[in-house]
Amino acid sequence: MDVEVAKLWLNPSVLTTTQSNVGVRDSTFRSCTYFVDLRECLGETLYTKYDTFKVLITYPLAGIGSELNTIFVEGLNLVNASYQGKTASTNIAVAVQSSQAAATNANIGKQTQTREFIMIKPDSNKISLTFNLVADNAATSLIGSGTPVFFLTFAPIKKDVIYKNPWNLLYQNEQANFTLSTRILSAGATNSFGTMNATMTNFTFTNVNMRRIIGTLWDKYNKFNLICASYGTGSVGTSLSGNQRLQWFQVSGLQFINTLSAINSNNLVRDYATTPIFQPQNSSTADAESFANPIGATTFRKPESETVDLNFQLWSQNNAGTVLNSQMNHFTLSFIVVGVKE
């Protein structure tokens, strides 16, 4: 995976029924529209150099009622994709979801529904990206906190290899691996390795030597892909239920590029990476997971300083995507670093 990628994180909790700079939603949360500048999202290099992209759309298996829901997307110029004979690239069904109510622990499920599409770059860089959740029983009730948070990953592909999956190249590239564990940090305190809040949901590793981690790749490349490969955590001290159990980390501290996040209602925000979605178990049960899907890849520029401070903030699907403040346990996160060819 030695190509530059772009990331887009769409959080419905920042939308209201009054149009803002970020977007607008209906009164039920079943239709959410985001105003996205693709040139800003993809970055100048990808936007000007490529016309065709692999697009991966993923979201938590949120509890949104007991009915079956089909999730549609409009606004991306997706090719070779249509729904019930309609014009290709419009109203594309990206997933069908069957889930329990948000208050139910059973069958919420882990992140398994990555969807892949081919996108031809739209004629205009300014797009309105709409997600519609349509119930099979024509229900129009409020779904609120169960509204999925969407994560989109864009990887450029050449026209002559349009059907070649760029993610397969990940395992053929020279790479560096490293692991970070909060076991060296102290809850609610600061020590020589970093700082962590009392609930273990926000922590920073200080003076992480990226040159030492990246090794021989440091002098070969100016850009890298950071890929979250796995996570593990101990049993949770407090009981989590429903959408609180669908979690991901927002990562900062590196100069991430081609990333946009809808985390406030004023503007889409740059400079954050996100890990794949995971689901910790409740008390007395530990949990670990390995990630094979490419939603964990984010491109960053080689730091000007060899040492950086890496911050991790835990989010959950609860209330349509919010910072989680429930008591958690220690985390271990493993990463792969791959050089990006230019």
94: left (phi over 0), alpha (psi -120 to 50) or beta: alpha
Q: Give me the residues paired with residue 290 across strands.
A: 230
Q: Give the number of other Cβ atoms within 10 Å of residue 266's Cβ.
A: 9
User: Quick one: pLDDT at residue 242?
Assistant: 74
Q: Which CATH class is domain 169-339?
A: mainly beta
- Distance (Å, rounded) from C-alpha 74 to C-alpha 138? 20
At 236, is the pLDDT very low, low, confident or very high (cuts 50, 70, 90)? confident
Task: Please check whether the two domains, 6-160 and 169-339, share a CATH topology.
Answer: yes
pLDDT in tens, 131-164: 988 877 777 777 766 677 899 999 998 765 545 5
- Token couple for 208: 């992480």
- Distance (Å, rounded) from C-alpha 127 to C-alpha 38? 7
Torsions phi, psi for 38 (to 5 deg): -65, -30
What residues have CB less than 8 Å from 317, skipping those under 6 apart?
Answer: 60, 62, 145, 146, 148, 149, 243, 244, 246, 247
Q: 77-86, 165-174, 228-237, 326-335: which has the highest mean pLDDT?
A: 326-335
- Distance (Å, rounded) from C-alpha 151 to C-alpha 148? 10
Range in 45-59, 84-98, 232-246 the model is least confident about: 84-98
- pTM exceeds 0.95: no
pLDDT of residue 283 exceeding 80, the answer is no
- Token couple for 218: 């440091």
**Lookup result for tokens 């991790």:** 312
pLDDT in tens, 287-338: 888 887 778 899 999 999 999 999 999 998 887 788 888 889 999 999 999 9
The ranges assigned to domains in the chain are 6-160, 169-339
Closest CA to 134 of 57, 85, 72: 72
Name the 3-class secondary structure at 248. Answer: strand
CA 284 to centroid of chain Cα atoms = 28
What mean pLDDT value characterizes the chain? Answer: 84
Mean pLDDT for the stretch of residues 252-279? 90
pLDDT of residue 16 exceeding 80, the answer is yes
pLDDT of residue 106 exceeding 70, the answer is no
Q: Which CATH class is domain 6-160?
A: mainly beta
User: Quick one: pLDDT at residue 114?
Assistant: 65
Mean pLDDT for the stretch of residues 165-179? 75
Mean pLDDT for the stretch of residues 159-179? 70
CA count, 13 A, side-chain hemisphere, 157 = 22
- Distance (Å, rounded) from C-alpha 174 to C-alpha 340? 11
